Amino acid sequence: MISITTVILAAGKSTRFKATSSKLVYPLCGLPIISHVYSVAKKISGKKVIVVCNKENINELKSILKDCVFVIQNQQRGTADAIEQAKNKINSKNILVLFGDTPLITLSSIKKLIKKFISSKAKASLIAFRTQKPFGYGRLLTKNNVLEEIIEEINLNIYQKKINLCNSGILVAEKKTLFDNTKNIKINRIKKERYLPDIFKIFHSNKFNTNYIECNEDEMLGINTLEDYNKVQSILQKKYIDKFIKIGVNFLKPNTCYLSYDTKIEQNVIIESNVTIKEKTIIKKDSIIKSNSYLEGVTIGEKCNIGPSARIRPNSIIDKNSKVGNFVEIKNSKIGKKVSIAHLSYVGDADVGNNVNIGAGTITCNYDGNKKSKTKIKSNVFIGSNTSLVAPLTINESSVIGAGSVITKNVGKRSLALTRSLQTEKKNYKRKK
C-alpha cells in the first residue's frame, strides 16, 4: 500500500439534521457517525488522518477521535476550500478524501479505489455509483469510459439529468498535482462555493490521467436528515444480522431487533422479537434471548435462558445454564452456573454462586443513599420470594432465606434465616365504612 493521508471532510453545519449537536457525533449502532468513517481511514492511513471541521463541532469531534490532526474551515466555501485548509498538514505524496457523514463506506471499496489509482498511474481516481434516483447528486460525464467532467446537480441540463452515473465525492489523488490545480477551481455562480469534483474537468483539459470505479449505491448514502439516518441504520442493522444468520444465529423477527457494531453472538443462539443488544455484549452458544429483552455491556454464557422482558445492565456476567426471566433487572453482577432468577427481581452489585434459586420479587438493596455495597450469595442458596437483602451482606453456602424476609446480617452455612413476624388473625372483624 502506498503512503497516503486521509482527509475527512466534517465542516458541515448539520442544519437539516435538526439536532442540538453535530450530527457527526450522533450514535449510529453504538458508534458516532463519523467514527464509522474514521475506522476505515485509520486502516488506510494509520495516524495520518486529518479532519476538516468547523469552530462549532471541533471540541465534540476531538472528544471522540484520537490520533487525528484537526483543521478548521472558518467559512462554508465548498469542498475545494475545505481541502485547501488541510494542505499544509499533509506530508504524504497522496491524499484520500472521505466524508464524515458517509458511514457505510467499506474498507474493501477504498482498497479497490487505491488499487485502480496505483495500477493506472492516475493523477486522481474517484468512486462513482449508479442509482435509479440520481436527484441531488453530481453526474459523471464520460466518453469511452474516460472521465471528462463532473457536473453538480444545480448545473445539469435536461439531458444530463437523465444520467444515472453519480459522484460520491470520495477520491484519491496525487497531492502535488491536486493542489497545483485547486486554485483553478472557480466559484459556483449559484451556490457561491468551490467544489472539489471540478478538478476532474481541469485534469482532463490538461490531459492528466483520471478514472473511476463503481461501487454499491448503499455505501455512498450520506446522512443529511433524520430520514437518511434511519435509512442508514436500517442498512447497517440488516448487515449485522445477516452476518450472524450466516454463522447459525436464529433471529425469529430480525427486523424488530437492534444490534451494536461490536455485538458478538455465537452459533445456535435464538433471538426472539424486539430484542435490543447494545455495546460490549457477548452471547455464547445455545442460549436463547426472549422477546423484549435489553442487554448492554454483558456476557451471557452457554445454554442460558434470558427473558422475556429482562434487562441486564453493564458489567454483568451470566454463567452457563442460568435463567433470567420475566421483568428481572441485573446490574453490575456476576451470576454463577445453574442460577434461576425467574421473575420480578432486582439483582444489583452482587456476586451469586452456582445452583442458586432467587424467588420472585427479591431485591438486593445495594444503595443506602450515600454509597453502593456488595451482596454475596454463595452456592446452593435458596432465596424465598419477596425478600430484601440489605447490603453489605453475605449469604453463605446451602442456606435458605424464608419468603418475605428483610435480611440485614450475614447468614451462616446451611442456615435458615427469616424475619417474618407471626401471623395474627382477628375473628369477626368489621371494616370501618
Q: Are 129 and 135 in contact (CB under 8 A)?
A: no
Q: Which residues touch 120 (CB under 8 Å, ≥6 apart)?
A: 209, 211
- E-strand stretches of 12-132: 27-28, 31-32, 49-53, 69-72, 94-99, 124-130
* Given 23, 278, 337, 343, the catalytic residue: 343
Q: Are 401 and 381 in contact (CB under 8 A)?
A: yes
> In this structure, which amino acid lies at residue 400?
V
Residue position matching grid coordinates 444490534? 259
HSE of 198 in the Cβ direction (CA atoms, 13 Å)? 21
Q: Are 364 and 341 in contact (CB under 8 A)?
A: no
Say whether 343 is catalytic. Answer: yes
Beta bridge partners of 363: 346, 388
Distances from the Cα of 188 to the Cα of 134, 141, 195, 224, 366, angstroms: 20, 18, 8, 21, 64
What amino acid positions are annotated as catalytic residues?
A: 343
